[in-house]
Amino acid sequence: MATMTMVQALNAAMDVMLTRSGDVVVLGEDVGYFGGVFRCTDGLQRKHGRARVFDTPITEAGIMGIAVGMAAYGLRPVAEMQFADYIYPACDQLISEAARLRYRSGGEFTAPVTVRAPYGGGIFGGQTHSQSPEAIFTHVAGLKTVIPSTPYDAKGLLISAIEDDDPVMFFEPKRLYNGPFEGYHDRPVVPWAKHPASEVPDGHYAIPLGKAATVRSGTAVTILAYGTMVHVAMAAARDAQVDAEILDLRTLVPVDIEAIEASVRKTGRCVIVHEATRTGGFGAELSALVQEHCFHHLEAPIERVTGWDTPYPHAFEWEYFPGPARIAEALRRVMEE
């Protein structure tokens, strides 16, 4: 079994699907000849041809409009937004067209579009290259939202997304592209090769959408996280010496409420972590779901650890970023109740 970075795993997933089906195409800015700004599509055009993997003009609205039309015609486009921060011009096509196509056509047409978008901070990208806009799309009926945290999950989830008959937002935590990150920016970078989830099977395999993964078992408190925050939460629980159970949600919509409910009912406490801004973040939806489903089992108020309600500040990157110290403080608060 090969050891891969997340970049290589994503590349392998697209390669598998391009090989398996002539209906799959990859499009976006610099995805063809250059292989993508993060190299996720490197070599795919050379292997599959310029008609299957092709560059587009710098127009996110145009990329999505083309993808929706292709999907209605019967293709399975994989559209890359170079950064999630640039996705906003594409929102009309995503929300008004892709998400609504099945409903408005009475099931006659579907939009099997996968939208790949690198998101999140921790790379000193500043306010225009560090945003986490996932909550915007979880609010839209008709869109699914997926966020992997390991190379193994990245490949299996991307294959499932491409095979899905409805549009899928696939947000990729770019801080994890080349290695796991525990939130300690002043420590040496660790490569994926030293992480067990970097072992990625060859060929086709799919991880079902809507299924969370328990990445750390515990009995004292449940931590709900996704993307980069899964690794940061692991470090926080370890360093705070708290017997925390950590759920990697993997899919935000549809969310695995059964796994969440089972864990919180067991532990009686819940901490929710995400990098996005606090107000209106997906953590608020998770908090409401936990309150609705687990109210009589809660021993303490639900805690949220998030980014600030500000643009991502370049000068205060690590104060904004929900690091292990902030998560550990939240764990101590819920344990004291």
Active site residues: 129
Sign of CA dihedral 336, 325, 183, 193: negative
Per-residue b or e along 283-303, where b marks 16 or more CB atoms closer than 10 Å to that residue's CB: bbbbbebbeebbeeebeeebb
Q: Is 111 left (phi over 0), alpha (psi -120 to 50) or beta?
A: beta
Q: Other CB atoms closer than 10 Å to residue 114's CB: what's the count?
A: 29
Residue type, 45: Q
Q: Other CB atoms closer than 10 Å to residue 92's CB: what's the count?
A: 12
The CA angle 115-119-123, to the nearest 5 degrees, is: 150
By the 8 A CB rule, do 248 and 197 touch? Answer: no
d(CA 263, CA 247): 8
By the 8 A CB rule, do 119 and 131 touch? Answer: yes
Per-residue b or e along 1-24, where b marks 16 or more CB atoms closer than 10 Å to that residue's CB: eeebbbbbbbbbbbbbbbeeeebb
DSSP strand pairing (53-55 vs 24-28): parallel
By the 8 A CB rule, do 245 and 146 touch? Answer: no
Say what angle helices 282-294 and 257-267 make with each other, to 10 degrees. 60
DSSP strand pairing (244-248 vs 199-200): unpaired
By the 8 A CB rule, do 138 and 183 touch? Answer: no
For the chain, the C-alpha Rg in angstroms (whole number) is 19
